[in-house]
Structure 1
């Protein structure tokens, strides 16, 4: 049975169908490294992946269209999902381009299905879960902008969300799966999920200095493929995450109480979090591992680790000239093991013989094609760059978020002059509220507490001494800071507040109209009076 893969990327979707015994006869993408990767891993050496704009192909006249899209039993594809992703502007990005590409895919499907004696039996479209709300139950010729369809209506009988971890993929990754395909049942429950730790144990730790002499056998935790550890590509290297990045990532993951805490470093007892397309060491979405045999140092996952977590077989090769290019291919991919399960139910529904199954077959590669293997690569530790003076700042007293309240510090510029302000923030999104100019009555404190608070305020007025100096310190690299910037000031407030058990109570604040934590009240009072003291030149 033959398959066409649209928006094929590196070939995750194709991989699953090919391992289930299907023949991929054509695949299209617009990114050269992905096309090369697809061709080297599929088609038994034949070129089956080509550069092609799916929207343009969908609008070709019939003669040209049939040349580009030959008749097949199955069409699969994964239109680019960045517009629908939660990570893109918190899910509020313009969806126009994303919808356009989904409709291009559907237009191709409709044109093939509406043909007399159509050969097309099944079609499957994968995307991020947020895209589901933008896929209709059916489409007319007018809605697909192709009048030649006449009265034909393309129905979308299946519109479901699946979590890949329930299909043998070691990743907590939810995806929208729309199309015409047989019912698909989850393979495993929570107890049988493959964890990050199991994947790391199977692959072994990266050994850049000694891997070439290793005789250790590695067994794929999903496909059962066996190969020598030294034959694993893109695994035996270490890329360390610099301090200035991982400290920011840690804060983003664990100091966002209103968004939920995330593990830092990654929790090995669970499947991996959703793998993104960007290799980053400083964001909430960053995937960061402990650096083996080191304390308080961290590394990025290897390309092989990420690929295996996404259920690519351990012999799959990614033809990119850098780790970031390879990582992007993987992060954008359809998980092959899930694709295999879809292909298997289609095969069973068509009573197709199972003898063609290639689930555990090793790959062969053309040695004449240049392949960049990251094994043994030495990555320089990334250096932080100073920020421009006009750089914006906005953060809260770290790790003090009480019932969704937090005390924020931000800078503002007017005619090139920097000012610093503090506010109390509540929640985020549509529930967000901001409070400022709040009166804090010192009667809330014992005399001893007032003395400590006064001493603390005077100390940091003296040590910061000007709004400009706070900004200057912020713009310096972490390594070069020699004074108190905004991060240091907020950290000092955190330590002061958490050192006093008397702040573990709630008090009514008139401007807010509710009782809030004294930790929040005190943090605000300290920051407000330090900034006021600086401004007044005390």
Structure 2
């Protein structure tokens, strides 16, 4: 059987394509303008071609020539174009908005490549823009090219990711298959949710600002999640602690497990937060419990903005810890400055969620192939 193929638009470091690779897809190419993310993508997807360009500057012929494909041969085109600037309902759109037109560029490549399947992901907040108008635009854009499209908001923690994360996922196909989404595997009545401590407890302790942390694990893997992410890895990377200021160090010492900015003495609070209501800023200066899910991993683990203090060490989460909470394998060595590494991790689709999506598509693909084989035999 010919191997299944995928191309990742707006690929970043390659979280979504990593999930598809884990499900058995051959990743042929990725496109992104972020050069450090591209270096990470190339290092972790050595079989793929990487286009470090604006998507507007990548032609269909460029992709076909690099991959050896012909139109209609690609199995899945995946990606997450920013859509907010595209919508006709967004009255602030225009050439000043760098997001404007990116979804149209996505459709341009769909039209030229004619993949059998589409997977597009984005922020769950798309549903509330213009009373759902942008959702209708996406459906109409894909439908106009002959794709039957469905969408669903997926909760990453329901698929074994140790983090509260919501993403809207569009799945489309032009082969008459049912658009399938993965069934939850974790939660009430299912497997237990994977906690923060399940994800990071084997990583060595660090001091605040310790730049060259140990490259060895603190001990053997403690559970199936750690075993899977450590598979084949001998040297730990991207595990160094950002240097927080003395005042932030002083603040953290007052924050217990499960605590937040409310536990910081008034005289140590940032000036802007001294005027805050107790009901405001619920995640700021948060120290999660070991048994918690992580809050959504963003493009920086800034303790001032979220619950990014280590559960039992007075420091911020490292890039490796953030990557674990995103379900990246430890084999991913993130390139660039530490700031750029945090951005790559925070912008990514959790690979484990990507794998579940890919497996659901494979099952739907197999089902339509079986139906076609039976029809041909009759």
After TM superposition, the score normalised by the length of structure 2 is 0.72
The equivalent position to 1:318 in structure 2, one of 331, 334, 339, is 334
Count of residue pairs the alignment pairs up? 319
Name the SS for the 1:280 alignment partner.
Answer: coil
Q: 1:277 to 1:36 in 2, by over 3 A?
A: same
Cα 1:227–1:6 change in 2 (3 A) is closer
State which of 146, 149, 162 in structure 2 corresponds to 1:170: 162
Partners of 1:254 and 1:340 in 2: CA distance: 45
Query: Match for residue 36 of structure 1?
Result: 39
| Contact 2:202-2:219 within 8 A present in 1 as well | no
**Cross-structure match for 1:265:** 287
Contact 2:206 2:213 in 1 (8 A): no
- 2:229 paired with 1:234: no
Q: 1:280 aligns with which of 295, 302, 307?
A: 302
Q: Distance in 2 between matches of 1:195 and 1:93?
A: 40
Higher relative contact order (CA 8 A, sep 6+): 2
SS in 2 for 1:192: coil
Q: Is 1:299 aligned to 2:300, yes or no?
A: no
- Assess, with a 3 A threshold, how the Cα gap between structure 1 residues 258 and 221 changes in structure 2: closer, same or farther: same
Kept after mapping to 1: 8 A contact 2:76/2:117: yes
Q: For the residues of structure 2 that align with 1:231 and 1:82, how far apart are their CA atoms?
A: 40
**Partner residue, 1:130:** 125
**Offset at residue 83 of structure 1 (A):** 6.7
Within the candidate set 328, 335, 340, 2:350 is matched to 335
Are the aligned partners of 1:307 and 1:330 in contact in 2 as well (CA < 8 Å)? yes
Question: Measured at CA, do residues 212 and 223 of structure 1 come closer, stay the same or move farther in structure 2, by a change above 3 Å?
Answer: closer
The reply to whether residue 158 of structure 1 matches residue 150 of structure 2 is: yes
Q: Helix, strand or coil for the counterpart of 1:136? A: helix
- For the 8 Å contact 2:75–2:116, the answer to whether it is kept is yes
CA positional deviation for 1:102 = 2.3
Equivalent residue of 1:98, what SS? coil
Contact 2:283 2:307 in 1 (8 A): no
Is residue 51 from structure 1 mapped to residue 52 from structure 2 by the alignment? Answer: yes
**In 1, Cα distance between the equivalents of 2:217 and 2:360?**
40
C-alpha distance in structure 1 between counterparts of 2:220 and 2:152, whole Å: 39
From 347, 364, 375, the counterpart of 1:349: 364
Structure 1: runs of 5+ lacking an equivalent: 85-90, 114-119, 145-150, 293-297, 353-538
Looking at structure 1, the residues matched to 32 and 150 of structure 2 have their Cα atoms a distance apart, in angstroms, of 25
The CA deviation string for residues 175-203 of structure 1, in whole angstroms up to 9 with x for no partner, is 11013142322121157111112222243
Give the Cα–Cα distance (whole angstroms) in 2 for the partners of residues 127 and 214 of structure 1. Answer: 34
Q: Aligned in 2, Cα 1:19/1:253: closer, same or farther, shift over 3 Å?
A: farther
2:191 is aligned with 1:188: no
CA distances 1:459-485 after superposition (whole Å, capped 9, x unpaired): xxxxxxxxxxxxxxxxxxxxxxxxxxx
CA distance in 1, matches of 2:77, 2:201: 36
Q: How far apart are residue 211 of structure 1 and its match?
A: 3.5
| Residues in 1 aligned to 2:117 and 2:47: alpha-carbon distance in whole angstroms | 24
Counterparts of 2:11 and 2:275, CA distance in 1: 36
| Deviation at residue 204 of structure 1 after TM alignment | 4.4
Deviation, structure 1 residue 82 = 8.5
RMSD: 3.7
Q: Distance in 2 between matches of 1:326 and 1:55?
A: 25
Separation in 2 of the partners of 1:93 and 1:277?
25
| Alpha-carbon distance in structure 2 between the residues aligned to 1:164 and 1:332 | 14
Residue of structure 2 equivalent to 1:19: 22
8 Å CA contact 2:288–2:307 kept in 1: the answer is no
2:77 to 75, 78, 82: 75
Contact 1:211 1:230 in 2 (8 A): no
Cα distance per residue 1:121-176 (max 9 Å; x no partner): 21101111112442326666xx69xxxxxx95444521211111111111101011
Q: Which runs of 5+ in 2 are unaligned?
A: 173-178, 253-259, 262-268, 368-378
Shift in Å, 1:275 = 0.9
User: Structure 2: how far apart are the matches of 1:49 and 1:200?
Assistant: 31
